Structure formats: C-alpha cells, structure tokens
Structure 1
C-alpha cells in the first residue's frame, strides 16, 4: 500500500486546511512554571471559586440544561425558546454553518480584520468564504457587504470586533439585516459586549428573524476554561440548530458553574471585573501613548488593546524570551506591525509595560551607541 494512503483518504478540503492558530497552540501552558504572563488570549486575569455536586456524574447531562438557559435568558433579556447553550461561542459558529450552508456549494461572508474562526469553521465544512473588508477606520463597508446578497448564506459581524476593539453601530447592522432579509442569516458576535458602552442588539431579535447573536462566558465572566457559550435567535432558528447539535454539548460541571456565574452575585462580580479591566485598559493606553512612534489602533470596546510599532517583531521576541505573551496581529488585513494586549491585573500590566518600556529604552541606547561609534570612526 502506498505510504501516502492517509493523505489520499483525507478529504481534499481538510488536507489543504490551515488550522486556527489559537493562543494556546502558539504558546502552550503545559509545563508552565508560574513565571509566564498570559496576556495573549483575551482571557480574564482571575476567576471565582465554585461548588461542584458530583453525585450525578455517572449520568449523561441534559442536552440543554434548563437552569442554565433560564439564567442566561433572564440575563440577556430573551425568552427561553430564543436561546441554546453550546461549547463556547465557537460551537455556535459551527452549528450555524452546518445548519444553513451546503458543503461545496454555499458561502459565508466575513469582514476582515476579524475573528479567525468564522473562516476556519467554514473551510472545515468545505464552505466558501467571501470577504467584505472593513474600511480603514474599521467601519463596515456596507456597499461591499450588500453586494454579496444572493451569494452567501451567512454573514458574520463581530461587534465589538476582535481584534480592533471597535463597535458596529446599530444603524449599520439594521442595514445589513434589511439587505439580507429572507436571504441569509446575519450573525452578530457579541463575545465582548460587556466591555462595550454600546447596547446589545438583542432588541432587534423581535424585528428580524434572520438575526443570530453569539455570546460567551469566556470573557467578562472569566470562564474561558469551561467552554460555555450561547446562541440567541428566533425559535425557528433555535429549532433548526438543535437538529445539528451534539447529544450532550454541555457537561454537567459546566452547567453547574455557569448557573452559579449567572446568579445575581455572580453577575455583580462580573460587572466589577469589567469596570476594573476597563480602567486597566485606559491605563495601558495612556502608558503606550507616551512611547515614541507607538500608535494605538482601533478602540477599547473589548478587554484588549491594539497598538502598532515598526519594531513589533523584535518587541514580540523580546517579550517571549521573558515569558511575557501578547498576540501578534500583524498578518491581518490593515494591521501591519500590530500587536494586541489583553488587560490583566494592575500588577500583570505593570510588569508587561515595564518590559515594553525597557525594550524601547534599550533600542534608543543601542542607536545612540551605534551613532557614537560611527562618529568616532569618521573622526
């Protein structure tokens, strides 16, 4: 048998697929000795203690735990029939593509620079990816977006957008919903909505039956490790998504933790966390602006900040060598030389900022040394 039998057996679109380079794939936490500073994955810097009841762990969990649905429906302001819970918002993305796109025939539309899993998930299912890039100010190019009517089944809009930290105005989203009415699903990813001053688009659900909203407990609720997300939509869309979801998508411990996080006390702690992180973001931005040639890019509607400097590669290497991890976004459209910092605790942010300042001070010293050496040689 040929040695490349596995390659021949693998689906062609999978064989050529480049996997999403998550923060943990790039820099694994396995074997970490505690000195690492992880500010590269838009995670919260801390979490809360939880209580776990293990007595029913020998049983399969409910497909859609009623306590979790009721708690999040109340939090989000939707009816119980307008919501499902998933393994992170990422599974919600996959369910939408699986339910409303046909392999080898359908397309989705994305607006780069944006979250990479929209394209990766589509390509995994052999679904085409069309692009309507953002304008230079990171606003939607509505003319470009509406040009794909009748050519795509799903439109993905991230608001607040990762990695630019910018909001999409409700008026723009309404224009997209109107253009694709009875034509396609419009997905608004609100993973970072708690960090934004803009109101959620939940009120539009009653007006537009082609709207889907994605939410998560990974960011503001500080529960990235339990993988719990939510998809909000019309009852008809929810019914369709439940046809393609796994039998037991929410493990029993996850349901218990999520329910605790969504109690009044848990929501209050989340609000306090968001306020602290927003204050830290403001401090990070102010400190970065004092460094020569550093440009703050986009907005701060997420729990992260994006900045640009021509020495981005050298700075990234300098930080990695010191176990300080941020995210390189320089390969994305419009984001040349850009790096992204997730807000951490004040101590974590201070450690990172001091290292960044030390790098640039070192660069200045090196330049001065080189200039002095050149002057002496010429003399």
Structure 2
C-alpha cells in the first residue's frame, strides 16, 4: 500500500504544509514522500521480515482454505451486525462520486467528529482504520532510548511496534481485578517514550477507570505520552479521555469504526491528539509509515454512523445482553471467566493450553480467539449473534468434556484454515 498525500487533517494542502513546515500549529496526518524525505527525524523502524503488514509478514494467506460458510466466526472481535443502514446508504450514494478524489468528504467527516467531541481544528486525523495510526502513534514516540510501558496481557500491537523500533519493553501485570496498574506502570521506568493503555482492554474486556488514567497523565514524566486505544470504548458506559486531548494534554487517543459501527472490512478510524503530536507521525520512516488514504465511501459511512444518534446505544445493549446471557450460561456450568467485561469479548479458563482448545473448537466448526502467554489456559471469545453464541455454548461444553489427551489425538490440521484475527487486518 502506498502512503498518499491526500490524507490530511483539515484539508491542508501539500503546498501549504511545505510553506509552513516550521510552524507547529499545522497538523497534517500524512505527507508526500518527497516532503517526508526532507523532514524525517529519528523514528526509523528496524528491518523486519518481508511481507504485508496486514498478513503478519506471511505470504501464504491465499493458499489457506477459508473456513466453511456455516462456521461460527467469533475470533476477531468483529461486529456480526455489519454497517448500519445509515452507513450503507451513505456508502452507496458516495460510490457514484468515486471517479474523483473528493477530499471534502474526509473534511466533512472530521468536522462532524470534532464537533461531537469539542475538538479544535487540527486535533484529529481520519485514517483507513485505527491500526495504521496506532502504529504511527507508538513508533513516533518510542525508540532505543525511549521505552514502551504497557499492560500484560493486552493488545499485542504495542510490543510489536516496540520490537520494530528497537524500543525496550516494560510489560506490567494487570491488577487483581484486571485493570491497568497505572502506579506500577509509572514505576516501571523513569522516562519512557510512551505508556500504552487499551480501554476496554483486549483481551480481557475490562475497563480501567478514567480517574486512574488521569492520575497517570498528571504524574508521568515530562516528554512521555499516554496512548489510549479506545477501539472498544463504545461498548462501555465509562467516559472517554478524548477531553484530555481537548485540554492539550500529552495524550493520543485512537478510535475505530470496526467494532460497534460494524465497519471492519470498510476501514475507518481516528487518531486524536494535539497538532504537534499528530505532526510527529510523519517522522516515522517507511515502510512502517506506508498507509493509504481513506476512501470517500469509508469516510461517508463513518460520518453517517457518527450522525446516527441511536446507533451506539442500541448496539451496546444488543452486545451487552448477548454477552451477559453467554457469561451466565458459562458461570452456571461452573466454568471460570474473567469478570467485568465491558466489550464485545470475554475470556474463559479452559483448563488446558488455549491453543489446543481453540483447535478442538475449530473441529466443531466454531472459530474462537487466541490465548496470551500471560494467561495461557484462557481463550478469548468474541460476542457474536445470539444464535452464534448458542452454537458456541454447545461446542464449548462438548470440548470441555473431552480430556486433553483425547483432544490432542483427534485434531485435524487447523493451520490449513485461515482463522480471522484483528491482529492482522491490513
């Protein structure tokens, strides 16, 4: 994918950016290659294996079989409801304009987002998904002398970016109730480049109170930034920390349309930060910086979703009801879960290596999520439709009733199948 100069914050043109290159108030999310070559600083990723970012460096995706059409896919934290009707209508209408770039579509979407969150012009940037800008947020603030502090277990993109940037890693265990331990994170290193918080956390689905994050922002060392990944925030009733961006704090917030808005395959997401922090994204060297511009159809779908006033509350309730029904079933059966999920996922203890259990579930035509080294006997499960979760329950009980030895002996070769994961999503 190419890094396209069409991707800007508020319609700032390339020539205007170059004219004002020394002005910190100009906020541009991406730059043409020539301008980047002239302005790159020290955020240079280490060499990494060849392969497309979205495929985790693999080249064999086309050789793996897709899962059967009737498989229950609850492995990648997608929303089975898909885009809202309002988004679909906007996408269809806008597609007819696809013969031109129509950058004003992106500007209009940014304006709607900024108005909803009380942000000034230049404090947000729209991207095709939130994975790319998350990499840029991380990589522009960490390096060999600027470590990354993050929770364990949590979303792997943080430590993966640290590996790319040769940045020292300081994982910090979650608290006993599965929150980010912000005081331990602060004590982990005297001057990290960034603290990475996923809220709600992936994979546990648990929330870290806003007051804890505010404490970290207030007490962190000067020069460090707090990166808050709010990909799943819409599923929670807790407050966002986007207001800390509006207050000019050292905070970068990531938002996506892949989760509650059901646009995972359509790709739209926001990076929210002060203009100077967004400007730092351009210091990340290729190929890590190689992002495409967002399409006008994705932008239109995102804007329509933002303006659909009942959408978030309705989908939050659907997800909460389905999740709670499933967790009640598991609890009544005596299975151990991670309590307190406020996302479209949960974790359950399968009393054996999670990878083995995942493969056994795949044999039952149910694709569940992965395990984490910090919790190897737990698997993460995405909340699907009520019907999908009933099928999950049946398969789960059957696989739990099997002995570990029987499971291992009966497995077919799951690596021949492509099981979707949000970790490698392009």
Same fold by TM-score, threshold 0.5 exceeded? yes
Alignment of 1:302-341 (within 5 A): 302-311=343-352, 312=354, 315-329=357-371, 331-333=372-374, 335-341=375-381
Q: Do residues 295 (structure 1) and 336 (structure 2) align?
A: yes
Aligned-residue RMSD, C-alpha: 3.2
Question: For 2:357 and 2:141, how far apart are their aligned partners in 1?
Answer: 43
Q: Do residues 255 (structure 1) and 299 (structure 2) align?
A: yes
SS at match of 2:166: coil
Question: For 1:263 and 1:148, how far apart are their aligned partners in 2?
Answer: 41
TM-score, length-scaled by structure 2: 0.72
2:166 aligns to what? Answer: 126
Q: Where does structure 1 lack aligned partners over 5 or more consecutive residues?
A: 1-10, 367-379
Superposed CA offset, 1:298-350 (max 9, x none): 42111111111214455423210122111131x331x1310111111111111
Superposed CA offset, 1:217-276 (max 9, x none): 111101111221111122332344367666852122211222222223xx4233212211
Distance 1:198 1:208, change over 3 A: same
Distance 1:230 1:313, change over 3 A: closer
Q: Is the 8 A contact 2:105 2:299 kept in 1?
A: no
Question: For 1:96 and 1:136, how far apart are their aligned partners in 2?
Answer: 29
Aligned length: 347
Alignment of 1:1-379 (within 5 A): 13-15=47-49, 31-48=66-83, 49=85, 50=88, 51-60=92-101, 62=103, 65-102=106-143, 104-180=144-220, 182-241=222-281, 249-264=293-308, 267-292=309-334, 294-311=335-352, 312=354, 315-329=357-371, 331-333=372-374, 335-361=375-401
Q: Where does structure 2 lack aligned partners over 5 or more consecutive residues?
A: 1-44, 407-426
Question: For 1:326 and 1:362, how far apart are their aligned partners in 2?
Answer: 17
SS at match of 1:38: strand
Distance 1:144 1:31, change over 3 A: closer
- Indicate the structure whose relative CO is greater, using CA pairs within 8 Å and at least 6 residues apart: 2
Q: Is the 8 A contact 1:20 1:116 kept in 2?
A: no
Question: For 2:368 and 2:362, how far apart are their aligned partners in 1?
Answer: 8
Distance 1:151 1:347, change over 3 A: same
Question: For 1:25 and 1:344, how far apart are their aligned partners in 2?
Answer: 29
Question: For 1:343 and 1:188, how far apart are their aligned partners in 2?
Answer: 23
Structure showing the higher helix proportion among its residues: 1
Question: For 1:263 and 1:243, how far apart are their aligned partners in 2?
Answer: 33
Distance 1:123 1:63, change over 3 A: farther
Q: Is the 8 A contact 2:191 2:224 kept in 1?
A: no
Q: Is the 8 A contact 1:52 1:257 kept in 2?
A: no
Question: For 1:26 and 1:271, how far apart are their aligned partners in 2?
Answer: 40
Distance 1:254 1:72, change over 3 A: same
SS at match of 1:274: helix
Of the structure 1 ranges 50-59 and 317-326, higher mean CA displacement relative to structure 2 is found in 50-59
Question: For 2:96 and 2:347, how far apart are their aligned partners in 1?
Answer: 45
Per-residue deviation at 1:203?
Answer: 2.5
Distance 1:211 1:120, change over 3 A: same
Look at both structures and tell me which one has the larger radius of gyration over its CA atoms: 1
TM-score, length-scaled by structure 1: 0.81
Distance 1:235 1:124, change over 3 A: same
